[in-house]
């Protein structure tokens, strides 16, 4: 990998100043057409190309949007939710000729990831603005949009998680189940510690429906099941072994819900006759399994696209901070009666 030609190599070759070379590339109209031609020719011969880092240093622009995700890149790309979300961001990047950089916690900490990333702005997913790891971001002095998290000084894009959860729980309760089983992302104390997180909001929605129905919240079975189809499957199987006999399950993600349905079928239960299940998110797979999954739809693609639009707007001018909340909608399919 030989040393790259620099702008002054080209300049020397042609016998002009570096300025002229710079102009030839960025502002050819300022230069004599013949000179431009000579310079370009020399550049081609020397294999010269402008150094993007030097350019970025000066222009403060890289043409890249950063997406900070709270999981490993491996997990992100395996996750259909993020696939759709990134599609939304990607569609805007296509329009604006921007690159899309996914960054995940480096060396165990987001801080260094944030400090190093060569981007013009960040979309941060699943973390509140005041999170310890997010705070350093402000030092970078570049625009930030928070998705699925709370923000007070910058733009945020969320969906109405509480309302969606409420609708799901209410629907199930209206079928007269003696009690609900709720599968969460994390143990409840953790969930409630993360004030205003997606999980906390969904839990709050479930709780509101239960209390409105005049039932006792404590009587419901709330179990952590992490995420992923396998987690949901194991969780339901485990409950069954413990002697639990749920008739209605609410899951905080479709993946978990799909796992629950799979487990129920394995146990010989009929879905939805013996067991009703409602997921959350409405990922593509929800509509592909049999029976098709009833779930709370959220506009995942649109969420990504909107976040990217808002970020680009802040990049171009000093747009005021906005707080966007997209609607969710209960979609009844085959796993509810």
Helix, strand, coil shares of the chain, percent, nearest 5, are 45, 15, 35
Nearer to DNA, 32 or 323 (CB): 32
Cβ–Cβ < 8 Å for 71, 48: no
- HSE, side-chain direction, 13 A CA sphere, residue 143: 25
Pick from DNA, a copy of itself, none: which does 18 bind, CB < 5 to 8 A by kind? DNA
Cβ–Cβ < 8 Å for 154, 129: yes
CA gap 91, 1 in Å, rounded = 35
The CA distances from residue 261 to 179, 220, 255, 290, 294, in Å, are: 18, 19, 10, 9, 11
Nearer to DNA, 114 or 203 (CB): 114
Pick from DNA, a copy of itself, none: which does 32 bind, CB < 5 to 8 A by kind? DNA
Cβ–Cβ < 8 Å for 183, 225: yes
| Residue 168 C-beta: closest distance to a copy of itself, Å | 25
| Residue 337 C-beta: closest distance to a copy of itself, Å | 24
Residue 100 CB burial class (10 angstroms; 0-12, 13-18, ≥19)? middle
Pick from a copy of itself, DNA, none: which does 78 bind, CB < 5 to 8 A by kind? a copy of itself
| Residue 211 C-beta: closest distance to a copy of itself, Å | 39
Nearer to a copy of itself, 56 or 226 (CB): 56
Cβ–Cβ < 8 Å for 40, 24: yes
Tell me the two tokens of residue 263: 């487990």
- Note the residues at the interface with a copy of itself (CB under 8 A): 1-5, 47-57, 60, 62-64, 66, 72-74, 76-78, 83-84, 86-87, 89-91, 93-94, 97, 99-104, 106-107, 113, 115-118, 136, 138-143, 288, 318
Tell me the two tokens of residue 185: 């992302």
- If we measure between CA atoms, which residue out of 44, 50, 58 comes closest to residue 22? 50
| Residue 60 C-beta: closest distance to DNA, Å | 8
| Residue 12 C-beta: closest distance to DNA, Å | 11
- Note the residues at the interface with DNA (CB under 7 A): 4, 6-8, 15-23, 25-26, 30-32, 35, 48-51, 54-55, 57-59
| Residue 19 C-beta: closest distance to DNA, Å | 3
Nearer to DNA, 47 or 187 (CB): 47
């Amino acid at each position: 990998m030989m040393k790259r030609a620099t702008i002054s190599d080209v300049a020397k070759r042609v016998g002009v100043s570096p300025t002229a070379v710079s102009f030839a590339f960025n502002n050819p109209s300022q230069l004599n057409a013949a000179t431009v031609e000579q310079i370009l020719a020399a550049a081609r011969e020397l294999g010269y190309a402008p150094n993007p880092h030097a350019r970025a240093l000066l222009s403060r622009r890289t043409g890249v949007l950063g997406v900070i995700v709270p999981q490993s890149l491996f997990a992100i790309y395996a996750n259909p939710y993020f696939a759709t979300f990134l599609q939304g961001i990607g569609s805007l990047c296509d329009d604006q000729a921007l690159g899309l950089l996914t960054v995940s916690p480096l060396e165990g900490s987001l801080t260094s990831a944030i400090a190093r990333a060569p981007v013009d702005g960040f979309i941060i997913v699943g973390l509140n603005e005041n999170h310890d790891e997010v705070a350093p971001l402000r030092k970078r002095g570049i625009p930030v949009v928070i998705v699925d998290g709370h923000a007070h000084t910058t733009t945020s894009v969320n969906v109405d998680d509480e309302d969606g959860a409420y609708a799901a729980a209410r629907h199930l309760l209206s079928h007269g189940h003696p009690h609900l089983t709720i599968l969460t992302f994390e143990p409840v104390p953790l969930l409630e510690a993360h004030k205003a997180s997606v999980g906390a909001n969904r839990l709050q929605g479930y709780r509101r429906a239960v209390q409105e129905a005049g039932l006792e919240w404590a009587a419901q079975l709330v179990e952590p099941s992490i995420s992923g189809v396998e987690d949901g499957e194991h969780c339901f199987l485990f409950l069954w072994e413990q002697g639990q006999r749920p008739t209605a399950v609410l899951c905080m993600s479709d993946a978990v819900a799909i796992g629950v349905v799979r487990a129920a079928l394995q146990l010989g239960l009929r879905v939805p006759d013996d067991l009703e299940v409602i997921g959350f998110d409405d990922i593509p797979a929800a509509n592909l399994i049999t029976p098709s999954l009833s779930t709370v739809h959220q506009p995942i693609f649109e969420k990504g696209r909107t976040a990217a639009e808002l970020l680009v707007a802040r990049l171009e001018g000093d747009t005021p901070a906005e707080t966007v909340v997209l609607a969710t909608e209960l979609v009844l399919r085959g796993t509810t009666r």
